[in-house]
Amino acid sequence: MSAKEVNELIRQAAEKAMRETDSEPEPGLTEEINWPIKVELHRGLAGAISNTTQIGYVNGAKGWLIYRGFNCFDLAEKSSYEETCHLLLHGRLPSSSELSIFNEQLKKYRRVPQPVLDVLRMIPTESSHPMSALATAVSMLGNLDANSEDISVENETEISLKLISQMATLAGAIGRIRQGKEPLTPNPELSHAANFFYMLSGTVPDEMNERIMDVSLILHADHGMNASTFTTMVVNSSLSDMYSSVVGGISSLKGPLHGGANQQVVLNLREIGSVENVDSWYQKKRAAKEKVMGFGHRVYKAYDPRARIFGPIAKLMAEKSAENKTIYEIAAKLEEVVVSELGQERKIFPNVDFYSGIIYKAMGIDTDMFTPIFAVSRIAGWTARALEYLADNRLFRPRAVYTGPIKIDYKPIEDR
């Protein structure tokens, strides 16, 4: 199977999406804002507006994902992760000479300082989650960078490039160490996606695996004011340094309601075990009022466009082994069952995490490394949005509604 076939699948997914969604923007969410504005507040800040941006747009009702005007289907089919990072950070697609310079900059930063690898080796793999190790590693990078406290946009942009490059090296090293192996030296001959695959698995990917990893990195690169992006921006808005801000983003992404879901999906599919068990497994979940991982989204009330791409790719990957095929068939059945009950009425559809884990699994990647792959990609959106906001910074500082008592007399400890 070739990279061309993967691109063809993406094109077909795009055509299907076009047929099913029309082209109306959301007036309230695609216009200049005159502050202050009135918004309704819901729990979890649902629907709240935090800032304006030119970086990316998610239209949840239509199922659109747009980076700086380009729809995700075009970028997934025709672009590369490096080009997408240039787009997000610098606001436009690069010319070929700009792309060569950008690639060289990223390659120059791939190696991480030795003390960071030493720290990673000290982390006990049995008790630690790889996302916690990743946060420690990025914090250590900051401690070692003599310029980390220079928070000028220029220096923070350079640090962002470094972090985009090094997140892949760190995730690769963590994956290897967790398997009791030595971290690998980055290979400057390879693209970002291929080098990441190599550092994680020890094997240079074939054309198809490189393309699929690249597509995955492109599709996870940015996604509105999701929890980890907002966390990164909140930390950065206090004029903290970019490393500390990104540590915040990693910590937020770790949770199963956010980036940790794809790992859970694969564990659930394994637990289900066979297509015949899907119905009863789902009914038990519903009876226990538990959510099904990989479904639902705060913003998308339509089919997640990333899942539109990952679904067919997961099917393609399923052909690789009998085990992959079974996992895919269970997933496809689970989608059918969940969507038939919750799709029409509750607008609950598969999200990006439903099929991504199946793809990584078919690539031979360990389940606990799925969320770090998300971080290797999302670092682009975190830093691009933090930099955009930094240029016209104002500290994020909402308020809470206090519901406790106001006036209680203080009693000495012996009288309580």
Catalytic residues, which ones?
258, 297, 353
Q: With binding defined as CB under 6 A, does residue 294 bind ligand COA?
A: yes
* Phi-psi sector, 202: left (phi>0), alpha (psi -120 to 50), beta: left
Q: With CB under 6 A as the contact rule, which of the stretches 142-150, 181-189, 203-211, 291-299 interacts with ligand COA?
A: 291-299
Q: How far is the CB of 352 from ligand COA (least distance, A)?
A: 5
CB neighbour burial string for 42-65, b if at least 16 within 10 angstroms, e if fewer: eeeeeeeeebebebbbbbbebbbb
> Cβ closer to ligand COA: 65 or 317?
65
Q: How far is the CB of 110 from ligand COA (least distance, A)?
A: 29
Q: With binding defined as CB under 6 A, does residue 348 bind ligand COA?
A: yes
Q: With binding defined as CB under 6 A, does residue 350 bind ligand COA?
A: no
Instruction: Pull the structure tokens for residue 66.
Output: 């747009």
> Cβ closer to ligand COA: 22 or 345?
345
Q: How far is the CB of 341 from ligand COA (least distance, A)?
A: 9
The CA distance from 334 to 336, in Å, is: 5
Other beta carbons within 10 Å of 90:
15
Q: Is 301 within 8 Å of 347 (Cβ atoms)?
A: yes
Q: With CB under 6 A as the contact rule, which of the stretches 129-137, 180-188, 240-248, 349-357 interacts with ligand COA?
A: 349-357
Q: With binding defined as CB under 6 A, does residue 297 bind ligand COA?
A: yes
> Cβ closer to ligand COA: 148 or 264?
264
- Out of 168, 234, 292, 375, the residue judged to bind ligand COA by CB under 6 A: 292
> Cβ closer to ligand COA: 93 or 342?
342
Q: Is 153 within 8 Å of 391 (Cβ atoms)?
A: yes
The CA distance from 251 to 385, in Å, is: 17
The CA distance from 81 to 219, in Å, is: 9
- Out of 88, 106, 163, 293, the residue judged to bind ligand COA by CB under 6 A: 293
Site track for ligand COA across 298-337, x = CB under 6 A: x---------------------------------------
- Out of 303, 353, 371, 390, the residue judged to bind ligand COA by CB under 6 A: 353
Sheet holding 56-59, edge to edge: 56-59, 64-67, 70-71
Picking from 377, 367, 381, 356, the residue whose alpha carbon sits closest to that of residue 130 is: 367
Contacts 24+ apart (CB under 8 A), 7-12: 7/77, 7/78, 7/211, 9/309, 9/312, 9/313, 9/316, 10/73, 10/76, 10/77, 10/215, 10/309, 11/73, 11/77, 12/312
> Cβ closer to ligand COA: 107 or 333?
333
Q: With binding defined as CB under 6 A, does residue 346 bind ligand COA?
A: yes
Q: With binding defined as CB under 6 A, does residue 261 bind ligand COA?
A: yes
Residues 6 or more apart in contact with residue 148 via CB below 8 angstroms: 142, 159, 241, 242, 243
Q: With binding defined as CB under 6 A, does residue 295 bind ligand COA?
A: yes
Q: How far is the CB of 355 from ligand COA (least distance, A)?
A: 12
The CA distance from 134 to 292, in Å, is: 27
Task: Name the H helices within 292-321.
Answer: 305-318
Q: How far is the CB of 350 from ligand COA (least distance, A)?
A: 9
> Cβ closer to ligand COA: 4 or 346?
346
The CA distance from 128 to 346, in Å, is: 37
Q: With binding defined as CB under 6 A, does residue 174 bind ligand COA?
A: no
Q: With binding defined as CB under 6 A, does residue 257 bind ligand COA?
A: yes
Q: Enumerate residues 184-243 that contact ligand COA by CB under 6 A.
A: none
Q: With binding defined as CB under 6 A, does residue 291 bind ligand COA?
A: yes
Residues that bind ligand COA (CB under 6 A): 44, 257, 261, 291-298, 346, 348, 351-353
